[in-house]
Amino acid sequence: GAVVSQHPSRVICKSGTSVKIECRSLDFQATTMFWYRQFPKQSLMLMATSNEGSKATYEQGVEKDKFLINHASLTLSTLTVTSAHPEDSSFYICSAREQAATNEKLFFGSGTQLSVL
Partner 1 sequence: AQSVAQPEDQVNVAEGNPLTVKCTYSVSGNPYLFWYVQYPNRGLQFLLKYITGDNLVKGSYGFEAEFNKSQTSFHLKKPSALVSDSALYFCAVRDRRGFKTIFGAGTRLFVKA
Binding site for partner 1 (CB under 8 A): 4, 6, 9, 32, 34, 41-44, 46, 49, 91, 93, 95, 97, 103-111, 113
How many whole angstroms from its chain centre is CA 89? 14
Shortest reach from residue 54's CB to partner 1, in Å: 13
86 three-class SS? helix
* 31 beta partners: none
Contact call for residues 8 and 110 (beta carbons, < 8 A): no
- What amino acid is encoded at 41 in this protein? K
Shortest reach from residue 65's CB to partner 1, in Å: 22
Shortest reach from residue 83's CB to partner 1, in Å: 26
Return the number of the residue (82 or 100) whose C-beta is nearest partner 1. Answer: 100
Return the number of the residue (44 or 62) whose C-beta is nearest partner 1. Answer: 44
Return the number of the residue (15 or 104) whose C-beta is nearest partner 1. Answer: 104
Any residues with CB less than 8 A from the CB of 31 and at least 6 apart, and which?
51, 52, 74, 97, 98, 99, 100
Shortest reach from residue 8's CB to partner 1, in Å: 13
